[in-house]
């Protein structure tokens, strides 16, 4: 069983922002699996489904990005899963717009949502699917940038990245993380 968590912020005002790409990937997976609605559990919207031979839980924490960790911890505890059964998907300013990168562990890279998850789990050993949003020459505080609506010039490449991220997650579940990394890390 896998817990697939897309990071984002709840609320209509954040729906089309760069920081909600994790939510969009979960929405894409739900669409593919024929899930019409997510239910509320452990401060998250979730759905359970079968992806190939594996049971998966799709989740969108509703605690706001920077406090995602307790919701993720609660879901892992509820479903009696270890962190190595977590696939976390989120935006990354250190990757070019639309670039996809899969990792099996590592630091948060300044992403406060990931920092919260690592702190709550007390480990950084879980799979990540990162979607590049670029940083447009920003050096320090990227808060305003990640919370901006996706500009028209980036919509197509980020929509394609959401589809590719959903494909990558399906590959992780069916073929394993190493095979998925070989296929999607270009």
Task: For residue range 37-53, list pLDDT tens digits in order.
Answer: 889 999 999 999 999 99
User: What is the third-level CATH fold of 2-184?
Assistant: Rossmann fold (3.40.50)
Is residue 90's pLDDT more than 90? yes
Catalytic-role residue among 19, 43, 54, 112? 19
Q: pTM for this structure?
A: 0.95
Q: Tens of pLDDT along 125-180?
A: 999 999 999 987 666 678 888 999 999 999 999 999 999 999 999 999 999 999 99
Task: Name 77's Cβ contacts closer than 8 Å, sequence gap at least 6.
Answer: none
Catalytic annotation present for 54: no
DSSP character string of 68-81: HHHHHHHHHHHTT-
Rounded Cα distance between 186 and 103, Å, is: 12
Provide φ and ψ at 5, rounded to 5°: -115, 125
What is the structure's pLDDT at 95? Answer: 95
């Amino acid at each position: 069983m896998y817990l697939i968590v897309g990071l984002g912020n709840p609320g209509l005002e954040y729906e089309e922002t760069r920081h909600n790409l994790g939510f969009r990937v979960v929405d894409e997976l739900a669409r593919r699996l024929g899930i019409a609605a997510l239910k509320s559990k452990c401060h998250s919207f979730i759905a359970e489904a079968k992806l190939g031979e594996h049971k998966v839980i799709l989740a969108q924490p509703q605690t706001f990005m920077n406090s995602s960790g307790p919701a993720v911890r609660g879901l892992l505890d509820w479903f009696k899963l270890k962190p190595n059964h977590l696939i976390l998907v989120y935006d990354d300013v250190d990757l070019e717009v639309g670039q996809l990168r899969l990792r099996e562990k590592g630091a948060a890279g300044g992403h406060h949502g990931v920092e919260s998850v690592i702190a709550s789990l007390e480990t950084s050993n879980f799979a990540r699917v990162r979607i590049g949003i670029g940083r447009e020459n920003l050096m320090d505080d990227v808060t305003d940038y990640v919370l901006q609506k996706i500009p028209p010039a980036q919509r197509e490449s980020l929509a394609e990245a959401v589809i590719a991220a959903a494909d990558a997650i399906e590959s992780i579940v069916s073929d394993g993380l190493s095979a998925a990394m070989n296929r999607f890390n270009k």
